[in-house]
């Protein structure tokens, strides 16, 4: 059963309010996450609590339960000179930076004259999300995974 400190493998299909597919994971390459450690959006994590292997569920999330509302203050215009000279300003490129006390992932929107427009909102902020999920596997997490706060399955160890 999915509870805190289990590692869960999920197949899922994520669509927005218009039914457009935004993301997916199949049984051959499932999403693996550590339950109860905010590795996935809060609304989805809550909805998965208590499910068993083989369970399927449709989960509809408001923007607040997903990636949050769009914060206009995180849409910034910075002088091109603030970026390394040899850095190519490619729309869609992401970089990490601190703003105040918060750590954000910014996405480059594009150049605008001598400025660069960037956006620190999650690309899915402000969107209602529909997840169609299937629980493919559940196992107890290792001590190391619990310490790190993430699953060590797959290719994304840090």
Q: Which residues bind Zn ion (CB under 5 A)?
A: 148
Q: What residue is closest to Zn ion based on CB?
A: 148
Q: What angle do CA 107, 110, 116 make, to 5 degrees?
A: 85
Q: Shortest Cβ distance from residue 96 to Zn ion (Å)?
A: 18
Q: How far is the CB of 104 from Zn ion (least distance, A)?
A: 22
E strands, 40-147, where?
56-61, 75-79, 94-99, 102-112, 115-119, 129-140
Q: How far is the CB of 145 from Zn ion (least distance, A)?
A: 7
| Residue number with CB closer to Zn ion (75 or 152) | 152
d(CA 120, CA 133): 28
For Zn ion, give the closer residue by CB, 37 or 148.
148
For Zn ion, the closer CB: 7 or 44: 7
Going edge to edge, which strands form the sheet with 102-112? 75-79, 115-119, 102-112, 94-99
């Amino acid at each position: 059963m999915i509870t805190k400190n289990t590692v869960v493998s999920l197949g899922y299909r994520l669509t927005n309010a218009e039914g457009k597919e935004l993301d997916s994971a199949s049984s051959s390459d499932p999403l693996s996450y550590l339950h109860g450690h905010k590795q996935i959006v809060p609304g989805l994590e809550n909805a998965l609590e208590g499910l068993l292997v083989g369970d399927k569920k449709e989960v509809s999330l408001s923007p607040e339960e997903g990636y949050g509302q769009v914060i206009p203050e995180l849409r910034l215009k910075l002088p091109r000179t603030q970026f390394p000279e040899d850095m190519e300003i490619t729309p869609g490129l992401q970089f990490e930076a601190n703003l105040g006390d918060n750590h954000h992932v910014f996405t480059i929107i594009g150049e605008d004259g001598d400025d660069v427009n960037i956006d620190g909102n999650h690309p899915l902020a402000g969107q209602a999300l529909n997840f169609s999920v299937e629980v493919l596997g559940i196992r107890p997490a290792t001590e190391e995974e619990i310490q790190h706060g993430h699953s060590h399955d797959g290719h994304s160890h840090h």
